[in-house]
Amino acid sequence: MEFAPPPCSDASVGRRGPSVQPLGQQNGRLPRLELFAFVAANPAEARQVLGVEPWSRVTDAHAAVWFRQVSRIPHQRDLNDEHYVDDHALAQIPAALPLLGLGRDEQMAITRGDGHQISARGFDDPQAMRMILLQILTGRRASEIHTCLFDCLSPVPNKTVDAADGQEVARFHYAQSKIDIAPDNILVDREVVAIIEEQQQWIRERFPGITPRHLFMQRTGNRQGDKPYPSGTYNWMLCEFSKTVKITDSKGKPVGLSHTHRFRHTQLTRPAELGLPVHVLIRYAGHATPSMSMHYVAARQEHAAQAFLATAKLRADGTHVTFSRYDHDSMHLLNRADRFLPHGWCMLPPLQTCDKGNACLTCSVFVTDASHQPALEQQLAETEALINRTTTAFQEQHGRPMPEDNIWLLQRRAEHAALTKLLDTIRTKPGQAVQGAGCGAATTSPVALTLDLDRHRRTRP
């Protein structure tokens, strides 16, 4: 049986009664679904307002039909490469941005994205130039940039954050107005600080004698200095700028600079692809939940291919590791992370268990080499300091030295002697692996070994 929903045009509903006109004025499917469900559930009230025909024929089946149509509404498509600005496009933008701040009576030679060289006239808007630079470098929304306060930088104590490579780090307070519970500041480097300080100096020279409220201000009709840079002007300026420079990505597609939200997607996609922890990504994005931040991460096909290729097993020298089906011991060894120690390797056969605890230095299957020399030297210094500190505390507490047959002191002395022998052998025989110092008798010297890292233990195919 087919159910044909009765007509529900704006005019018919308006003639039937003004009380249901708001529902008829909406062209969506959900208002019609609610109307049919109400008429089917309340026939008497609907007859008084809408009349008898054709509403008397409405049943629950009509609402069910509309519900099936609503359920088939397509969901929003996933983010892809179109929401990501690649390196090819980002390399063109800084080269052309000075044209935005150049005066209208000046010209500048630029190379467009299609490869043509032209001489273009300036746009005389240095504020727009700095705003888009801040969006590219920080990943903030356009509204968070052009409405941020003038004094938006604050210092960060050196004890709290250690800057990498000696770069200065400051805290940038942006205009967070979308999410109440989200943070409104991020850490920025010297490059971002220089752009903000340059804009502050420009404002002081452009609006002398006033106390500016915003970092980016409306240039005309703003005597009090309390009006921010208009968002419409910013979009129009970037749209005209895009038409002139014609930025393209690596596939030759045009990149519209007026769609500045793509820079936010890009700035959040890159650290996510590099493995940044989710809680750090949420904090940097200024979001409240992980789902918000994941919405901004573009599912790039290029990165998916790179991540798949990165799963290939490589040796330290960059050559591929190949295993045959007979290499059961080698495969088992790879699954034993405890065999790779901070100061060497444990050569215990895979199917055997260790009963020595952490006494690796005096074990015959412990092997190390010069690559672990800094860790061994640090362990030797810490062991010596521990022995001195403990024996001194024992002397002060008991009034006599700690007995040499003390079990704790015997173990620490053995570790100290083993470390000393290992380091002496490493220094005298560089380039060779050294076996643990506790083989057999306590006076046994370290045994020099040569490890062949290019061959497997089994050569049989």
257, 93 in Cβ contact below 8 A? yes
Amino acid at 298: A
Q: Please give the pLDDT value at position 302.
A: 64
391, 401 in Cβ contact below 8 A? yes
127-147 average pLDDT score = 93
Distance CA 263, CA 132 (A): 9
Residue boundaries of the structural domains of the chain: 10-71, 81-302, 328-449
CATH code for residues 81-302? 1.10.443.10
Q: Please give the pLDDT value at position 359.
A: 67
330 pLDDT higher than 50: no
pLDDT band at 55 (very low <50, low <70, confident <90, very high): confident
145-166 average pLDDT score = 75
Q: Bigger pLDDT: 377 or 335?
A: 377
Distance CA 433, CA 450 (A): 6
pLDDT band at 7 (very low <50, low <70, confident <90, very high): very low
150, 213 in Cβ contact below 8 A? yes
pLDDT band at 308 (very low <50, low <70, confident <90, very high): low
Q: Bigger pLDDT: 179 or 65?
A: 179
Give, in degrees to the nearest 5, the angle at Cα 135 between 130 and 140: 135
Distance CA 247, CA 91 (A): 10
255, 247 in Cβ contact below 8 A? yes
Q: Token pair 């220089």 is at which residue? A: 194
Q: Bigger pLDDT: 141 or 23?
A: 141
Lowest mean pLDDT among 73-77, 151-155, 239-243: 73-77
The candidate with the shortest Cα–Cα distance to 15, out of 60, 49, 58, 66, is 49
Burial environment of residue 124 by CB neighbours within 10 A (0 to 12, 13 to 18, 19 or more): middle
396 pLDDT higher than 70: yes
127 pLDDT higher than 90: yes
Q: Bigger pLDDT: 91 or 31?
A: 91
146, 219 in Cβ contact below 8 A? no
Q: 373-398 and 407-428 helices cross at what angle (nearest 10)?
A: 150
Lowest mean pLDDT among 136-140, 360-364, 383-387: 360-364
Segment 232-272, tens digit of pLDDT: 999 999 999 999 999 998 888 888 888 888 888 888 888 88
pLDDT band at 88 (very low <50, low <70, confident <90, very high): confident
Determine phi and psi for 146, rounding to 5 degrees.
-80, -5
Q: Please give the pLDDT value at position 356.
A: 64
> Average pLDDT over the chain, rounded to whole?
76
The DSSP line for 51-76 is: -STTGGG--HHHHHHHHHHHHTPPPP
315, 321 in Cβ contact below 8 A? yes
Element (H, E) at 285: helix 278-285
* Sequence-separated contacts (24+) of 315-324 with Cβ below 8 Å: 315/453, 316/453, 317/453, 324/460, 324/461
Helix (H, G, I), strand (E, B) or coil at 11: helix
340, 371 in Cβ contact below 8 A? no
Q: Please give the pLDDT value at position 313.
A: 57
Distance CA 190, CA 168 (A): 5
290 pLDDT higher than 70: yes
**CB atoms < 10 A from the CB of 281, how many?**
18
Q: Please give the pLDDT value at position 156.
A: 83
Lowest mean pLDDT among 55-64, 134-143, 149-158, 218-227: 55-64
What b/e readout covers 188-209, taking b as 16+ CB neighbours within 10 angstroms? bbeebbebbeebbebbeeebee
Entry field: residues in the chain: 461
322 pLDDT higher than 70: no
Segment 428-457, tens digit of pLDDT: 877 777 777 544 333 334 445 555 555 444
Segment 190-216, tens digit of pLDDT: 999 999 999 999 999 998 888 999 999
27 pLDDT higher than 50: no
87 pLDDT higher than 80: yes
